[in-house]
Amino acid sequence: MTTAMTCTRLTIFTVAGIFLQILGLSFFVFGFFPVKPTLSGVSGSESYRDPFCDSSPISNESDLHHPEKLKLLYQELSGISSKYDRLILMVIDGLPAEFVLGKDGKPPWKVWKESMPYTQSLLANGDAIGYHAKAAPPTVTMPRLKAMVSGAIGGFLDVAFNFNTQALLDDNLLGQFFRIGWKMVMLGDETWLKLFPGLFMRHDGVSSFFVKDTVQVDRNVSRHLPDELNSDDWNLLILHYLGLDHVGHTGGRNSPLMPAKLKEMDDIVRTMHLRAMMDRSHDQGQTLLIIVSDHGMTENGNHGGSSYEETDSLMLFIGLNSNISDYASATNNVAFQVDLAPTLALLFGVPIPKNNVGVLVPGTLSSLRDFEQLRALELNSWQLLRLMQAQIQSSSFPGFSCNCFLDGTCEGIDLDISECSGDKEKQLICLFRNAAVLHGIWKSKKSTESSSAMEDFSRALDAYNTFLKTASEWLASKTTEKPVLLLGLGVSAMLISCFICATVFLSLFKEVYHEPKDQVCSLSYLLNLEEMFIFALLLILVISMGSSSMVEEEHYIWHFMVSTFYLLLLFKTAKSFNFSEGMNILRDFKFGSIFSLLISGRLLRGWHQGGVNWTYLPDISKWLQQVGSGYVKWIQLISNFLVIVLGLYTLFRTGLNRKSVRILAFGFSACGFLILLHAGRYQDEMSTDFGATVTVKVIYYLLSISAIGASLVLPWSALNKDKSFLAEVGDCLYSIGSAYILCWCLLQLLLQQPINSGPILLLFLQILAILCLSSNDLQVNEWVEIAALYYMGMAGHFALGNSNTLATIDVAGAFIGISSHSTILSGILMFMITYASPMLFLLSLVMYIGAKLRNHSHSTISTHPETSLGQILKLKLGFPCLVPLCINSILLTAYTVVLLLMRNHLFVWSVFSPKYLYVCATTLCTYIGVCIVAATVTYTFSVTTFLRSNRTRHNNS
C-alpha cells in the first residue's frame, strides 16, 4: 500500500512539520511584535532647532564631550531657565493612583487616605499635584521603567525579557542627565542597575526576587536615606520601593499589611519633603520631588494586563510651586506615563529623548514665564515632528523650511489659521502649522507690546497642546508598524506545517481504521458522535478566538465542552448498557468513572472564577479563603495524602514488585512528607530562610532523580517470562507513567498556591478515571481519547486559576527554593506552574499507552512476531504524539491568522497579544510533553526488545 508510511517516514515528516512551525512562529513573532524604536541615536543640541534646518551640530565637536560645557550649551539653546538643581524620583512599585488620588473625582478610601496623612496634607495645601498616569500594557516593571525614562512605548515582547533585563541602549533621560555631568544615586530595585549599568555614582540594589519579603526589601532602601539627604553631591536620587508590590502579590489590595506599608511610604515622603526641600540650611539648591508608580494592581494584587486597576499608575509632583488651590484640582488630573520623560527633560534642561511620544504634563509649566512655556511646548512639538518625519514622506511637508515660521518666509503657506481636516497626516501637519504660526504672531506682537498679547498667548498655548495631544496619539498608534514580508513568510510556513501535520495524521488514521487486518477497525467506518464532537470543538475554538470577549472568557468554552464530552460518554455507555448482563461490577465501574469525571469537572470549574468580566462572582477558592486558612490547610493535607496513596497504588498495580519500584515508592513517600513539612512550617511565615530553601531543593532533587531513574531503570528490571512482549512493555510503561504523574503532581503541590492543591488532586483523579474508562473498553477510538485528554488538560489549565491575561501568572511561586537570582530557573518554575495541567495530561499519555498495551496484550498483535519494532511503535506511539501536535498546530495557526486580522483591533495589545503569548507557551508545552512521551516509549520498547532477544539467544544456546 502506498499510503502506508513507515515509522521513519512518519517521524521525519512530523519533525519537519514541527521544525517548519517553529521557524514560522519565530518569523511571525519578530514581525508582529515591535522590538525596535523608530529612530536611532541620541538627541543632542540639534533638538533645540527647527527640524527643517539641517541637523549639523551647532558648535564644534570638542565641546560636546565636556559635561559642563554641554550643560551650558543646552541652557543657552533651550531658552528655558532651569529652576531646579536636584531631582528625587521615588518609585513605589505597584501603587495604584487610586490609593492616593481616589477615583472618578472621589477621594480615596478612608483606609488608604488615613494611611498617608502627610501626602494628603500636601495635596490639600496645594504643595503637590497628582496625576493618574495611564500606563501602557504590559504592566510589568521593566517595560514601564523604560517607558518612564525614554518616553517611548516599548514593544510588547519586553515582557518576555522582564526576567532578563538588559541595558537600555535607546535614548533616555538618565543618559541625557549623565551626559551633562549629573551625579546619580540609585537605591532600590536592581532593575535600574541592569537597565543603566555604570551610570550611578552610588547604588544599593535590592532584588525583586523574594516576593514574600515585604519588610526587609524596603528597609534596605530606607537605611541609606538619612545619609543621602544630608549629602549634597548628587543631582538625581532614585528610590525604588518594592515592598508595596510584594504586599499586593501576597495579599491583594486589601491585604492587612497594606495600610502599614502605605504609612511607611508616607513617612518617607515626609522625611524627604522636610529634609530635602523645606530645610534650606544646606546649600543644595532647589529640589523637585516626584513620586511615581510603575503600574497599578488588580484586586488580587497582580498586574500585567490592561485593566483600569493595573494601568492606573501615579505621578505626583511635590515642590512645583504651581498655584493650586483646592484638593480636587490637585488630584483629579489625567496624564500618560510616558509624559514624564519630556516633562523632566524640559524642566531640567536636557534634550527630550529621541523616541519619546509623551507630551508635557500641562500643570507643571505654570511656574514658568510665558515665553518659556511656549518655548517648552515648541521644543516638545519639534521632537514629535522629527519622529513623524521618519514616518511620513517629506513631500507631505510642503514649503516648510528652516525657521520660516519665525521669519514669516514659508513658501506656499498662507499664514492664516485654518480648520484642520482631511486624513490624519495632513491634519497633524496643519495643526503644527497653526501652532507655529500663532507662536510667531505672539512673538512678533510681544516686541510691539500689544495689549492683546495675553489672548495670543493662550491661543498659541491651546494650539500647541492640541497638536501635541493629536501627534502623541498618532505616534503611539504608529509604533506598531508591521513588516509584511516577515509576517507573510511566518504565516505561510505555519500553514504548511499545519497541513503537513494534518496529512500525516490522516494517513495514519486511514491506515489504522481502514485496514481490514487491524482489529480496531470496522469495515464500514463512519465518523461517530464523539469524533464529530472533537472536530466541532476544534472548529468552535477557532471561531471563538475571533471575539475578544470569548478570548477573555475562554475557560467557559473549555469547561462547557469537556463536560459535554463527559455527558456524551455517559450517553454512549448508556447506549451499550445491556439489561441481560444486569448490574455487573464492570458497568458500575464505568458509570462510576464517568460520574466522577463529571463531578470533578464541575468542582474544577467552580474552583476559580476565571476570566476578566466575572471574576467577582463567588467561587470555591474565595469561599475557602473566607472561612479561614485552616480549611485550606486541611485540603492541602488531604490532597497530598491522597495523591501519594493513589499514585503508589497505580505504581504497584502492574505487579512489578521489584526492588526498583519499592525504592521509587519510598522516594515519593519521602517527597510527600517533605512537602507537607514545607507546607506546614514555612508557608505562612512568608520567610525565605535557609531551612525552607534546603528542604525545597532536596525535594527537587529527589523528584527529578525518581522520575529520571524510573524511566531509565524500570525497563531493565521488568523481566517476566510468562508475559507477552507487549504486555511486558505495557506494564513497564504504566509504571513509568504513573511515576511521571505522581512526580509532577507532587511538584505542583509544592509549587502551586495552597488553594490549588484541591484542583491538583481532582486533575489526578480525572486522569485515573479516564484511564480506568479506556481500559474498560469505552468503545471510543484511541485518537478521540487522546484528544479528550488534551482538552481536559486545557480545561484544567483554566481550573488552576489561569486566564488569558498576564496578570494571573503566579510570580510568587517561581522563586520557591531558589537561593540566588537566576532568570532561567525562575522562568522554568513559572512555566511549570502555569502549564501544570496541560503537562500533567501530556505526561499521562505514557500511562495511557501502557494501559492500552496491557489491555490488548491478549489480542492478536502479540501473536505476530514478525511485526517490526518500527511498525509497533508507529501504531502505538503515532496517535499519542500526532494528536496533540495536530490540535495544537491547528489552534496555533488559526490564532496567528486571527491575530493578523485583528492587528487594528482596539484590544490587540490588551487581549489578543497576551493570548498569543499563552498560545506560544502552550505550543512549547506540547512539544516538551510529546518529546518526553516519545522518548520514554521508544526507549522502553528498544530496551525490552533488546532484553527479549538476549533472552531467546540465551535460551537457544
Partner 1 sequence: MKEAKEKKNPEISVSITISTWGAFAVYVITGLFLIFGFHVVRNKYSVDLISDPTLTLRLLWIIEFPIVVIIYSLFRRNPEKCSYFRAVGRSLVGLIAGALINALGAVSLGAPIGMQSLSKTIHWSFLMSVFTVVPATAVLGASWIDWHRIFASLKPIGIIEHMLLVPAYGAIIGGWFGAWPMPLDWERPWQEWPICVCYGAIGGYIGGQMVSLLTFLSEHKNLKLA
Point out which residues bind partner 1 (CB under 8 A): 547, 549-550, 552-553, 556-557, 559-560, 563-564, 566-567, 571, 574-575, 577, 579, 598-599, 601-602, 605-606, 611, 613, 617-618
Closest separation in Å from C-beta 613 to partner 1: 5
Query: Residue 598 or residue 698: which is nearer to partner 1 going by CB?
Result: 598
Query: Residue 260 or residue 538: which is nearer to partner 1 going by CB?
Result: 538
Query: Residue 571 or residue 673: which is nearer to partner 1 going by CB?
Result: 571
Closest separation in Å from C-beta 146 to partner 1: 32
Closest separation in Å from C-beta 550 to partner 1: 7
Closest separation in Å from C-beta 787 to partner 1: 20
Query: Residue 559 or residue 854: which is nearer to partner 1 going by CB?
Result: 559
DSSP string across 69-81: HHHHHHHHHH---
Closest separation in Å from C-beta 572 to partner 1: 9
Closest separation in Å from C-beta 669 to partner 1: 35
Phi and psi (nearest 5°) for 687? -95, 165
Query: Residue 503 or residue 564: which is nearer to partner 1 going by CB?
Result: 564
SS3 call for 726:
helix
Closest separation in Å from C-beta 784 to partner 1: 19
Query: Residue 454 or residue 617: which is nearer to partner 1 going by CB?
Result: 617
Q: Any residues with CB less than 8 A from the CB of 645 and at least 6 apart, and which?
A: none
Closest separation in Å from C-beta 386 to partner 1: 41
Query: Residue 539 or residue 567: which is nearer to partner 1 going by CB?
Result: 567
Q: Which amino acid is at 82?
A: S
DSSP H helices, 515-584, are 529-544, 548-552, 554-575
Query: Residue 543 or residue 931: which is nearer to partner 1 going by CB?
Result: 543
Starting at the earlier edge strand, list the strands of the sheet with 86-92.
202-206, 184-189, 236-241, 86-92, 287-292, 312-318, 128-134, 334-336
Closest separation in Å from C-beta 898 to partner 1: 17
DSSP H helices, 800-912, are 823-834, 836-856, 869-901
SS3 call for 128:
strand
d(CA 840, CA 121): 55
Query: Residue 548 or residue 683: which is nearer to partner 1 going by CB?
Result: 548
Closest separation in Å from C-beta 546 to partner 1: 12
Query: Residue 563 or residue 629: which is nearer to partner 1 going by CB?
Result: 563
Q: How many residues does the chain have?
A: 957
Closest separation in Å from C-beta 66 to partner 1: 59
DSSP string across 35-82: -S-SS-S---GGGGS-TTS----SS-HHHHT-HHHHHHHHHHHH----
CB-side neighbour CA atoms (13 Å) of 419: 2
Q: Any residues with CB less than 8 A from the CB of 836 and at least 6 apart, and which?
A: 744, 748, 751, 752, 760, 796, 797, 800
Query: Residue 35 or residue 527: which is nearer to partner 1 going by CB?
Result: 527
- Retrieve residue 853's grid coordinates: 498495551
d(CA 415, CA 458): 18
Tally Cβ neighbours within 10 Å of residue 526: 7
Closest separation in Å from C-beta 58 to partner 1: 56
Query: How buried is residue 829: exposed, middle or buried, by Cβ count under 10 Å (0-12/13-18/19+)?
Result: buried
d(CA 625, CA 632): 7
Query: Residue 557 or residue 816: which is nearer to partner 1 going by CB?
Result: 557
Query: Residue 110 or residue 575: which is nearer to partner 1 going by CB?
Result: 575
Q: Which among 270, 287, 348, 285 has a CA at the least distance from the CA of 321?
A: 287
Tally Cβ neighbours within 10 Å of residue 571: 12
Query: Residue 165 or residue 307: which is nearer to partner 1 going by CB?
Result: 307
Closest separation in Å from C-beta 576 to partner 1: 8
SS3 call for 359:
coil
Question: CB of 483 within 8 A of CB of 31?
Answer: yes
Q: Which among 134, 167, 166 has a CA at the least distance from the CA of 153?
A: 134
CA 899 to chain centre: 17
Query: Residue 13 or residue 556: which is nearer to partner 1 going by CB?
Result: 556
- Retrieve residue 260's grid coordinates: 502599614
d(CA 775, CA 650): 13
Closest separation in Å from C-beta 617 to partner 1: 8
Tally Cβ neighbours within 10 Å of residue 743: 24
Question: CB of 804 within 8 A of CB of 914?
Answer: yes
Q: Which amino acid is at 716?
A: W
Closest separation in Å from C-beta 534 to partner 1: 16
